[in-house]
Amino acid sequence: MPSPGSQPSASRPLPALRLLPDGSRRVDYAAIVRLAWPLFVNAGMQAALNLTDTWFLGRLSTDALAAVGAVFFLVLVFVVFLGGVGNAVQTLSAQAFGAGSRPRAAGFAFNGLWGALLTAPAFAAVAFAGPWLLAPFQLPPGVNELALEYWFPRLLGGFLGTAQWALAGFFNGIGRTRVTLATALGVTLANAGLNQWFIFGLGWGVAGAAWATAAAQGLGAAVLTLALLAPGMQSGFRTRLLVRPRWRRLRTLFVLGIPMGMAATADLSGFAMFQLMLARLGALEAAASQVVMMLTSVAYMPAIGIALAGTTLVGQSIGAGDRDWAQRTGSATIRLAVIYMGGVSVALALGAPLLLPLFADAADPNAAALVELGTALMWIAAGYQVFDALNLGAAFCLRGAGDVRFAAVALLVLAWGVFVPTVHMLAFAPGQGLVDFLPQWGMGAKGAWLAALGYIILLGVAMFSRWLSGAWKRRLAL
Protein backbone atom coordinates (compact mmCIF):
# COMPACT_ATOMS: atom_id res chain seq x y z
CA MET A 1 0.00 0.00 0.00
CA PRO A 2 1.31 3.48 -0.79
CA SER A 3 2.24 5.57 2.19
CA PRO A 4 0.03 8.58 3.03
CA GLY A 5 0.46 11.39 0.57
CA SER A 6 2.36 9.15 -1.82
CA GLN A 7 0.47 10.04 -4.98
CA PRO A 8 1.79 13.09 -6.83
CA SER A 9 -0.45 15.69 -8.37
CA ALA A 10 -0.51 16.09 -12.12
CA SER A 11 1.25 19.43 -11.83
CA ARG A 12 4.18 17.94 -9.94
CA PRO A 13 6.02 15.49 -12.19
CA LEU A 14 8.18 12.91 -10.47
CA PRO A 15 11.90 12.71 -11.23
CA ALA A 16 13.34 9.70 -13.10
CA LEU A 17 9.89 8.23 -13.75
CA ARG A 18 9.22 5.92 -16.69
CA LEU A 19 5.63 4.82 -17.25
CA LEU A 20 5.10 1.48 -18.99
CA PRO A 21 2.17 0.87 -21.37
CA ASP A 22 0.27 -0.97 -18.62
CA GLY A 23 0.53 2.09 -16.35
CA SER A 24 3.13 0.62 -13.98
CA ARG A 25 6.02 2.79 -12.85
CA ARG A 26 9.70 2.06 -13.34
CA VAL A 27 12.81 3.93 -12.31
CA ASP A 28 14.36 5.53 -15.38
CA TYR A 29 18.05 4.82 -14.86
CA ALA A 30 18.92 6.86 -17.93
CA ALA A 31 17.33 9.92 -16.28
CA ILE A 32 19.30 9.24 -13.10
CA VAL A 33 22.51 9.03 -15.09
CA ARG A 34 21.70 12.30 -16.87
CA LEU A 35 21.24 13.96 -13.48
CA ALA A 36 24.15 12.21 -11.81
CA TRP A 37 26.94 12.30 -14.37
CA PRO A 38 27.68 16.04 -13.98
CA LEU A 39 27.63 15.57 -10.18
CA PHE A 40 29.84 12.51 -10.59
CA VAL A 41 32.38 14.43 -12.66
CA ASN A 42 31.98 17.47 -10.39
CA ALA A 43 32.92 15.45 -7.31
CA GLY A 44 35.72 13.90 -9.34
CA MET A 45 37.02 17.43 -9.88
CA GLN A 46 37.31 17.75 -6.10
CA ALA A 47 39.30 14.52 -6.05
CA ALA A 48 41.48 15.94 -8.81
CA LEU A 49 41.91 19.12 -6.76
CA ASN A 50 43.03 17.08 -3.75
CA LEU A 51 45.43 15.03 -5.88
CA THR A 52 46.80 18.22 -7.44
CA ASP A 53 47.55 19.64 -4.00
CA THR A 54 49.16 16.35 -2.97
CA TRP A 55 51.31 16.23 -6.11
CA PHE A 56 52.54 19.80 -5.60
CA LEU A 57 53.27 19.14 -1.92
CA GLY A 58 55.13 15.96 -2.84
CA ARG A 59 57.42 18.10 -4.97
CA LEU A 60 58.34 20.04 -1.84
CA SER A 61 59.22 17.18 0.53
CA THR A 62 57.97 14.16 2.47
CA ASP A 63 57.71 16.45 5.52
CA ALA A 64 55.36 18.74 3.59
CA LEU A 65 53.12 15.79 2.72
CA ALA A 66 53.24 14.55 6.31
CA ALA A 67 52.39 17.99 7.70
CA VAL A 68 49.33 18.48 5.52
CA GLY A 69 48.33 14.86 6.03
CA ALA A 70 48.50 15.33 9.79
CA VAL A 71 46.01 18.22 9.78
CA PHE A 72 44.05 17.53 6.57
CA PHE A 73 41.06 15.94 8.29
CA LEU A 74 41.22 18.27 11.27
CA VAL A 75 40.95 21.20 8.84
CA LEU A 76 37.97 19.51 7.20
CA VAL A 77 36.35 19.03 10.62
CA PHE A 78 35.92 22.79 10.95
CA VAL A 79 35.22 23.33 7.25
CA VAL A 80 32.34 20.86 7.09
CA PHE A 81 30.89 21.73 10.51
CA LEU A 82 30.72 25.45 9.81
CA GLY A 83 29.87 24.71 6.17
CA GLY A 84 26.78 22.65 7.03
CA VAL A 85 24.59 25.65 6.32
CA GLY A 86 25.77 25.54 2.71
CA ASN A 87 25.07 21.82 2.34
CA ALA A 88 21.51 22.24 3.61
CA VAL A 89 20.59 24.34 0.58
CA GLN A 90 20.31 21.34 -1.74
CA THR A 91 17.74 19.54 0.40
CA LEU A 92 15.54 22.60 0.83
CA SER A 93 15.82 23.75 -2.78
CA ALA A 94 15.04 20.24 -4.08
CA GLN A 95 11.91 19.93 -1.93
CA ALA A 96 10.73 23.42 -2.89
CA PHE A 97 11.37 22.75 -6.58
CA GLY A 98 9.57 19.40 -6.38
CA ALA A 99 6.59 21.20 -4.82
CA GLY A 100 6.52 23.67 -7.74
CA SER A 101 7.81 26.71 -5.81
CA ARG A 102 10.75 27.98 -7.86
CA PRO A 103 11.21 31.36 -6.12
CA ARG A 104 11.30 29.61 -2.74
CA ALA A 105 13.98 27.26 -4.06
CA ALA A 106 16.08 30.22 -5.21
CA GLY A 107 15.49 32.01 -1.92
CA PHE A 108 17.36 29.27 -0.10
CA ALA A 109 20.37 29.85 -2.37
CA PHE A 110 20.66 33.51 -1.39
CA ASN A 111 20.09 32.72 2.26
CA GLY A 112 22.85 30.13 1.95
CA LEU A 113 25.16 32.95 0.89
CA TRP A 114 24.14 35.02 3.90
CA GLY A 115 24.71 31.98 6.10
CA ALA A 116 28.20 31.54 4.64
CA LEU A 117 29.00 35.17 5.43
CA LEU A 118 27.87 34.65 9.02
CA THR A 119 30.39 31.81 9.39
CA ALA A 120 33.37 34.01 8.39
CA PRO A 121 34.16 35.23 11.95
CA ALA A 122 34.09 31.67 13.27
CA PHE A 123 36.46 30.51 10.52
CA ALA A 124 38.81 33.38 11.35
CA ALA A 125 38.78 32.47 15.05
CA VAL A 126 39.71 28.85 14.28
CA ALA A 127 42.44 30.00 11.89
CA PHE A 128 44.13 32.12 14.57
CA ALA A 129 43.69 29.35 17.17
CA GLY A 130 45.78 26.88 15.18
CA PRO A 131 48.85 26.82 17.48
CA TRP A 132 46.68 26.05 20.54
CA LEU A 133 44.55 23.47 18.74
CA LEU A 134 47.56 21.52 17.43
CA ALA A 135 49.68 21.75 20.59
CA PRO A 136 48.11 18.72 22.37
CA PHE A 137 49.10 16.41 19.49
CA GLN A 138 52.84 17.04 19.95
CA LEU A 139 53.74 16.78 16.27
CA PRO A 140 57.46 16.74 15.41
CA PRO A 141 58.70 20.36 15.37
CA GLY A 142 59.36 20.55 11.62
CA VAL A 143 56.04 18.93 10.76
CA ASN A 144 54.15 21.13 13.23
CA GLU A 145 55.59 24.33 11.72
CA LEU A 146 54.60 23.29 8.18
CA ALA A 147 51.14 22.19 9.38
CA LEU A 148 50.49 25.65 10.84
CA GLU A 149 51.61 27.28 7.59
CA TYR A 150 48.84 25.33 5.84
CA TRP A 151 46.28 25.68 8.63
CA PHE A 152 45.92 29.47 8.81
CA PRO A 153 45.04 30.37 5.20
CA ARG A 154 42.97 27.22 4.67
CA LEU A 155 40.69 28.03 7.62
CA LEU A 156 40.64 31.77 7.07
CA GLY A 157 39.16 31.24 3.60
CA GLY A 158 36.78 28.47 4.68
CA PHE A 159 33.65 30.62 4.34
CA LEU A 160 34.33 30.90 0.59
CA GLY A 161 33.94 27.13 0.29
CA THR A 162 30.68 27.33 2.24
CA ALA A 163 29.39 29.95 -0.20
CA GLN A 164 30.33 27.77 -3.16
CA TRP A 165 28.58 24.75 -1.60
CA ALA A 166 25.42 26.76 -0.96
CA LEU A 167 25.13 27.95 -4.56
CA ALA A 168 26.10 24.58 -6.01
CA GLY A 169 23.47 22.98 -3.74
CA PHE A 170 20.77 25.15 -5.27
CA PHE A 171 21.65 24.25 -8.86
CA ASN A 172 21.98 20.57 -7.90
CA GLY A 173 18.64 20.69 -6.09
CA ILE A 174 16.78 21.96 -9.16
CA GLY A 175 18.51 19.43 -11.41
CA ARG A 176 20.79 21.86 -13.28
CA THR A 177 23.89 19.91 -12.45
CA ARG A 178 25.82 20.95 -15.55
CA VAL A 179 26.14 24.45 -14.12
CA THR A 180 27.99 23.13 -11.08
CA LEU A 181 30.08 20.85 -13.29
CA ALA A 182 31.30 23.72 -15.45
CA THR A 183 32.10 25.72 -12.32
CA ALA A 184 33.98 22.81 -10.73
CA LEU A 185 36.08 22.40 -13.85
CA GLY A 186 37.03 26.07 -13.70
CA VAL A 187 37.85 25.84 -9.99
CA THR A 188 40.07 22.78 -10.53
CA LEU A 189 42.02 24.44 -13.35
CA ALA A 190 42.36 27.65 -11.35
CA ASN A 191 43.59 25.71 -8.33
CA ALA A 192 46.29 23.98 -10.38
CA GLY A 193 47.54 27.24 -11.81
CA LEU A 194 47.42 29.01 -8.47
CA ASN A 195 49.28 26.14 -6.79
CA GLN A 196 52.19 26.51 -9.21
CA TRP A 197 52.20 30.29 -8.82
CA PHE A 198 51.76 30.49 -5.05
CA ILE A 199 53.89 27.50 -3.97
CA PHE A 200 56.83 27.95 -6.32
CA GLY A 201 56.44 31.24 -8.19
CA LEU A 202 55.89 33.33 -5.07
CA GLY A 203 57.79 30.92 -2.83
CA TRP A 204 54.96 30.52 -0.32
CA GLY A 205 55.56 26.78 0.06
CA VAL A 206 52.95 24.79 2.00
CA ALA A 207 50.92 27.94 2.72
CA GLY A 208 50.62 28.53 -1.02
CA ALA A 209 48.57 25.33 -1.43
CA ALA A 210 46.05 26.57 1.13
CA TRP A 211 45.84 30.07 -0.37
CA ALA A 212 45.31 28.50 -3.79
CA THR A 213 42.36 26.46 -2.51
CA ALA A 214 40.73 29.48 -0.88
CA ALA A 215 41.19 31.66 -3.96
CA ALA A 216 39.83 28.98 -6.32
CA GLN A 217 36.75 28.45 -4.14
CA GLY A 218 36.13 32.18 -4.01
CA LEU A 219 36.25 32.24 -7.80
CA GLY A 220 33.74 29.37 -7.92
CA ALA A 221 31.34 31.20 -5.61
CA ALA A 222 31.57 34.34 -7.77
CA VAL A 223 30.83 32.42 -10.98
CA LEU A 224 27.82 30.66 -9.44
CA THR A 225 26.47 33.98 -8.11
CA LEU A 226 26.59 35.41 -11.63
CA ALA A 227 24.81 32.30 -12.93
CA LEU A 228 22.11 32.70 -10.28
CA LEU A 229 21.52 36.33 -11.31
CA ALA A 230 21.51 35.63 -15.06
CA PRO A 231 18.43 36.78 -17.05
CA GLY A 232 17.27 33.22 -17.66
CA MET A 233 17.16 32.54 -13.92
CA GLN A 234 15.38 35.82 -13.27
CA SER A 235 12.48 34.92 -15.57
CA GLY A 236 11.89 31.50 -14.04
CA PHE A 237 12.96 31.99 -10.42
CA ARG A 238 12.69 35.78 -9.85
CA THR A 239 16.18 35.64 -8.36
CA ARG A 240 16.89 39.37 -8.28
CA LEU A 241 13.96 39.91 -5.94
CA LEU A 242 15.34 37.44 -3.39
CA VAL A 243 18.75 38.89 -2.49
CA ARG A 244 17.81 40.17 0.96
CA PRO A 245 18.10 37.71 3.88
CA ARG A 246 14.92 36.01 5.07
CA TRP A 247 15.53 35.16 8.68
CA ARG A 248 13.03 32.30 8.86
CA ARG A 249 14.66 30.58 5.89
CA LEU A 250 18.10 31.31 7.26
CA ARG A 251 17.06 29.71 10.55
CA THR A 252 15.77 26.63 8.68
CA LEU A 253 19.13 26.33 6.92
CA PHE A 254 20.98 26.33 10.24
CA VAL A 255 18.50 23.93 11.90
CA LEU A 256 19.06 21.43 9.09
CA GLY A 257 22.68 22.31 8.38
CA ILE A 258 24.00 21.99 11.94
CA PRO A 259 23.16 18.25 12.20
CA MET A 260 24.59 17.76 8.70
CA GLY A 261 27.76 19.48 9.81
CA MET A 262 27.83 17.51 13.06
CA ALA A 263 27.53 14.19 11.19
CA ALA A 264 30.38 15.03 8.86
CA THR A 265 32.37 16.48 11.76
CA ALA A 266 32.07 13.29 13.81
CA ASP A 267 33.42 11.24 10.90
CA LEU A 268 36.14 13.66 9.87
CA SER A 269 37.26 14.35 13.42
CA GLY A 270 37.72 10.61 13.82
CA PHE A 271 39.87 10.55 10.68
CA ALA A 272 41.68 13.66 11.88
CA MET A 273 42.72 11.74 14.98
CA PHE A 274 43.56 8.80 12.73
CA GLN A 275 46.03 10.94 10.74
CA LEU A 276 47.41 12.70 13.80
CA MET A 277 48.12 9.36 15.45
CA LEU A 278 49.84 8.18 12.28
CA ALA A 279 51.93 11.36 12.34
CA ARG A 280 53.13 10.38 15.82
CA LEU A 281 54.33 7.10 14.34
CA GLY A 282 56.48 9.01 11.85
CA ALA A 283 56.57 11.10 8.69
CA LEU A 284 56.65 7.99 6.47
CA GLU A 285 53.44 6.56 7.93
CA ALA A 286 51.65 9.92 7.71
CA ALA A 287 52.83 10.60 4.16
CA ALA A 288 51.90 7.13 2.87
CA SER A 289 48.47 7.40 4.45
CA GLN A 290 47.91 10.85 2.96
CA VAL A 291 48.71 9.64 -0.54
CA VAL A 292 46.44 6.60 -0.13
CA MET A 293 43.65 8.85 1.14
CA MET A 294 43.99 11.10 -1.89
CA LEU A 295 44.10 8.18 -4.32
CA THR A 296 41.04 6.52 -2.81
CA SER A 297 39.24 9.84 -3.21
CA VAL A 298 39.03 8.82 -6.87
CA ALA A 299 36.54 6.22 -5.64
CA TYR A 300 34.63 8.05 -2.94
CA MET A 301 34.51 11.61 -4.29
CA PRO A 302 32.71 10.71 -7.56
CA ALA A 303 30.49 8.39 -5.51
CA ILE A 304 29.50 11.46 -3.50
CA GLY A 305 28.35 12.90 -6.83
CA ILE A 306 26.09 9.87 -7.34
CA ALA A 307 24.87 10.20 -3.75
CA LEU A 308 24.13 13.90 -4.30
CA ALA A 309 21.84 12.87 -7.15
CA GLY A 310 20.02 10.77 -4.54
CA THR A 311 19.56 13.87 -2.38
CA THR A 312 17.95 15.69 -5.31
CA LEU A 313 15.75 12.76 -6.38
CA VAL A 314 14.53 12.06 -2.86
CA GLY A 315 13.95 15.76 -2.11
CA GLN A 316 12.06 16.43 -5.34
CA SER A 317 9.93 13.29 -4.89
CA ILE A 318 9.01 14.31 -1.34
CA GLY A 319 8.23 17.84 -2.53
CA ALA A 320 5.92 16.31 -5.14
CA GLY A 321 4.20 14.28 -2.42
CA ASP A 322 5.38 10.74 -3.22
CA ARG A 323 7.58 9.18 -0.55
CA ASP A 324 7.37 5.69 -2.01
CA TRP A 325 8.88 7.00 -5.21
CA ALA A 326 11.53 8.75 -3.14
CA GLN A 327 12.55 5.35 -1.74
CA ARG A 328 12.70 3.71 -5.16
CA THR A 329 14.85 6.42 -6.75
CA GLY A 330 17.05 6.69 -3.69
CA SER A 331 17.70 2.95 -3.64
CA ALA A 332 18.61 3.10 -7.32
CA THR A 333 21.31 5.69 -6.67
CA ILE A 334 22.71 3.61 -3.79
CA ARG A 335 23.06 0.65 -6.16
CA LEU A 336 24.94 2.79 -8.68
CA ALA A 337 27.30 4.06 -5.95
CA VAL A 338 28.09 0.50 -4.80
CA ILE A 339 28.84 -0.68 -8.35
CA TYR A 340 31.15 2.27 -9.01
CA MET A 341 33.11 2.23 -5.75
CA GLY A 342 33.54 -1.52 -5.74
CA GLY A 343 35.03 -1.53 -9.24
CA VAL A 344 37.31 1.46 -8.81
CA SER A 345 38.68 0.30 -5.46
CA VAL A 346 39.93 -2.96 -6.98
CA ALA A 347 41.49 -1.08 -9.91
CA LEU A 348 43.28 1.31 -7.54
CA ALA A 349 44.67 -1.52 -5.43
CA LEU A 350 45.97 -3.34 -8.51
CA GLY A 351 47.52 -0.16 -9.87
CA ALA A 352 49.05 1.07 -6.61
CA PRO A 353 52.67 0.12 -7.47
CA LEU A 354 52.44 2.33 -10.56
CA LEU A 355 50.46 5.18 -9.03
CA LEU A 356 52.23 5.74 -5.72
CA PRO A 357 55.64 6.67 -7.19
CA LEU A 358 53.96 9.65 -8.89
CA PHE A 359 53.53 11.27 -5.48
CA ALA A 360 57.08 10.86 -4.20
CA ASP A 361 60.30 12.59 -5.19
CA ALA A 362 62.61 9.90 -6.55
CA ALA A 363 65.53 11.65 -4.83
CA ASP A 364 63.83 11.40 -1.44
CA PRO A 365 65.45 8.60 0.62
CA ASN A 366 61.99 7.59 1.88
CA ALA A 367 60.44 7.25 -1.59
CA ALA A 368 60.78 3.46 -1.93
CA ALA A 369 59.51 2.82 1.60
CA LEU A 370 56.52 5.12 0.95
CA VAL A 371 55.56 3.11 -2.14
CA GLU A 372 55.90 -0.22 -0.33
CA LEU A 373 53.82 0.85 2.67
CA GLY A 374 51.27 2.71 0.55
CA THR A 375 50.67 -0.37 -1.62
CA ALA A 376 49.85 -2.48 1.43
CA LEU A 377 47.53 0.22 2.79
CA MET A 378 45.76 0.52 -0.55
CA TRP A 379 44.56 -3.08 -0.38
CA ILE A 380 43.11 -2.50 3.09
CA ALA A 381 41.39 0.67 1.85
CA ALA A 382 39.94 -1.24 -1.10
CA GLY A 383 38.26 -3.60 1.34
CA TYR A 384 35.88 -1.01 2.76
CA GLN A 385 34.82 0.82 -0.40
CA VAL A 386 31.59 -1.14 -0.95
CA PHE A 387 30.48 -0.41 2.60
CA ASP A 388 31.47 3.23 2.22
CA ALA A 389 29.23 3.34 -0.86
CA LEU A 390 26.33 2.07 1.26
CA ASN A 391 27.15 4.71 3.85
CA LEU A 392 27.40 7.60 1.38
CA GLY A 393 24.42 6.58 -0.73
CA ALA A 394 22.08 6.03 2.20
CA ALA A 395 23.25 9.11 4.12
CA PHE A 396 22.70 11.46 1.19
CA CYS A 397 19.29 9.97 0.42
CA LEU A 398 18.31 10.45 4.06
CA ARG A 399 19.58 14.02 3.74
CA GLY A 400 17.15 14.58 0.86
CA ALA A 401 14.33 13.60 3.22
CA GLY A 402 15.62 15.90 5.96
CA ASP A 403 16.43 12.90 8.19
CA VAL A 404 19.84 14.09 9.42
CA ARG A 405 19.85 13.47 13.17
CA PHE A 406 20.26 9.70 12.95
CA ALA A 407 23.42 10.10 10.88
CA ALA A 408 24.83 12.61 13.37
CA VAL A 409 24.27 10.26 16.33
CA ALA A 410 25.45 7.12 14.51
CA LEU A 411 28.63 8.78 13.30
CA LEU A 412 29.40 10.26 16.69
CA VAL A 413 29.00 6.91 18.47
CA LEU A 414 30.88 4.81 15.90
CA ALA A 415 33.67 7.32 15.21
CA TRP A 416 34.55 8.09 18.79
CA GLY A 417 33.24 5.00 20.56
CA VAL A 418 34.73 2.47 18.14
CA PHE A 419 37.03 3.90 15.46
CA VAL A 420 39.38 6.21 17.38
CA PRO A 421 39.99 3.82 20.32
CA THR A 422 40.57 0.91 17.92
CA VAL A 423 43.09 2.90 15.88
CA HIS A 424 44.98 3.71 19.08
CA MET A 425 44.98 0.08 20.22
CA LEU A 426 46.09 -1.41 16.90
CA ALA A 427 48.59 1.26 15.79
CA PHE A 428 50.68 1.97 18.89
CA ALA A 429 53.11 -0.25 20.74
CA PRO A 430 53.25 0.02 24.56
CA GLY A 431 54.56 3.42 25.58
CA GLN A 432 53.92 5.04 22.18
CA GLY A 433 50.29 6.03 22.54
CA LEU A 434 48.44 9.12 23.68
CA VAL A 435 46.98 7.27 26.70
CA ASP A 436 48.03 4.27 28.77
CA PHE A 437 44.68 2.72 29.75
CA LEU A 438 44.04 1.02 26.38
CA PRO A 439 45.78 -2.14 25.11
CA GLN A 440 48.51 -1.35 22.56
CA TRP A 441 49.41 -3.97 19.96
CA GLY A 442 51.94 -2.04 17.86
CA MET A 443 50.73 -2.88 14.35
CA GLY A 444 51.64 0.57 13.03
CA ALA A 445 49.96 2.12 10.01
CA LYS A 446 48.52 -1.21 8.87
CA GLY A 447 46.75 -1.62 12.21
CA ALA A 448 45.29 1.88 11.92
CA TRP A 449 43.90 1.11 8.47
CA LEU A 450 42.41 -2.19 9.67
CA ALA A 451 40.57 -0.17 12.31
CA ALA A 452 39.26 2.08 9.52
CA LEU A 453 38.05 -1.02 7.66
CA GLY A 454 36.00 -2.20 10.65
CA TYR A 455 34.58 1.27 11.27
CA ILE A 456 33.37 1.76 7.69
CA ILE A 457 31.73 -1.67 7.64
CA LEU A 458 29.73 -0.85 10.77
CA LEU A 459 28.84 2.60 9.46
CA GLY A 460 27.69 1.33 6.08
CA VAL A 461 25.44 -1.29 7.66
CA ALA A 462 23.94 1.26 10.08
CA MET A 463 23.14 3.90 7.45
CA PHE A 464 21.76 1.45 4.91
CA SER A 465 19.57 -0.18 7.57
CA ARG A 466 18.15 3.24 8.45
CA TRP A 467 17.30 3.88 4.81
CA LEU A 468 15.64 0.48 4.36
CA SER A 469 13.60 0.96 7.55
CA GLY A 470 11.60 3.80 5.98
CA ALA A 471 11.55 5.69 9.28
CA TRP A 472 12.38 8.87 7.33
CA LYS A 473 8.98 8.67 5.58
CA ARG A 474 7.28 9.89 8.74
CA ARG A 475 9.01 13.28 8.56
CA LEU A 476 7.08 16.25 7.22
CA ALA A 477 8.40 18.01 4.14
CA LEU A 478 10.59 20.96 5.08
Q: Is the pLDDT of residue 8 over 50?
A: no
Q: For 310-361, write each residue's pLDDT tens digit.
A: 999 999 999 999 999 999 999 999 999 999 998 998 898 898 888 888 877 6
Query: What does the pLDDT read at residue 449?
Result: 92
Q: Is the pLDDT of residue 5 over 70?
A: no
Q: Is the pLDDT of residue 182 over 80?
A: yes
Ranking 124-138, 217-231, 265-279, 420-434 by mean pLDDT, the lowest is 265-279
Q: What distance separates the 2 farthest-apart alpha carbons in the chain?
A: 71
Q: Is the pLDDT of residue 98 over 70?
A: yes
Query: What does the pLDDT read at residue 6?
Result: 42
Q: For 31-56, write each residue's pLDDT tens digit.
A: 998 998 898 888 777 767 777 777 78
Query: What does the pLDDT read at residue 477?
Result: 59
Percent of the chain scoring above 70 in pLDDT: 96
Give the pLDDT band of residue 247 (cuts 50, 70, 90): confident
Q: Is the pLDDT of residue 183 over 70?
A: yes
Q: Is the pLDDT of residue 192 over 50?
A: yes
Give the pLDDT band of residue 281 (cuts 50, 70, 90): confident
Of residues 61 and 455, which shows the higher confidence score? 455
Q: Is the pLDDT of residue 7 over 70?
A: no
Query: What does the pLDDT read at residue 67?
Result: 82
Of residues 68 and 378, which shows the higher confidence score? 378
Query: What does the pLDDT read at residue 4?
Result: 41
Query: What does the pLDDT read at residue 134?
Result: 87
Q: Is the pLDDT of residue 15 over 60?
A: yes
Query: What does the pLDDT read at residue 219?
Result: 95
* 304 closest CA partner among 84, 15, 42: 42
Contact predicate 69/275, CB 8 Å: yes
* 192 closest CA partner among 170, 215, 174: 215
Give the pLDDT band of residue 242 (cuts 50, 70, 90): low
| pTM for the predicted model, two decimal places | 0.81
Query: What does the pLDDT read at residue 164?
Result: 95
**Long-range contacts: 218-222, Cβ < 8 Å, 24+?**
218/157, 218/160, 218/163, 218/164, 219/186, 219/187, 219/190, 220/164, 220/168, 220/183, 220/184, 220/186, 220/187, 221/113, 221/116, 221/160, 221/163, 221/164, 221/167
Of residues 183 and 3, which shows the higher confidence score? 183
Q: Is the pLDDT of residue 76 over 80?
A: yes
Q: Is the pLDDT of residue 258 over 80?
A: yes
Of residues 350 and 434, which shows the higher confidence score? 350
Q: How far is CA 256 from CA 392, 463, 478, in A?
A: 18, 18, 9
Q: Is the pLDDT of residue 100 over 90?
A: no
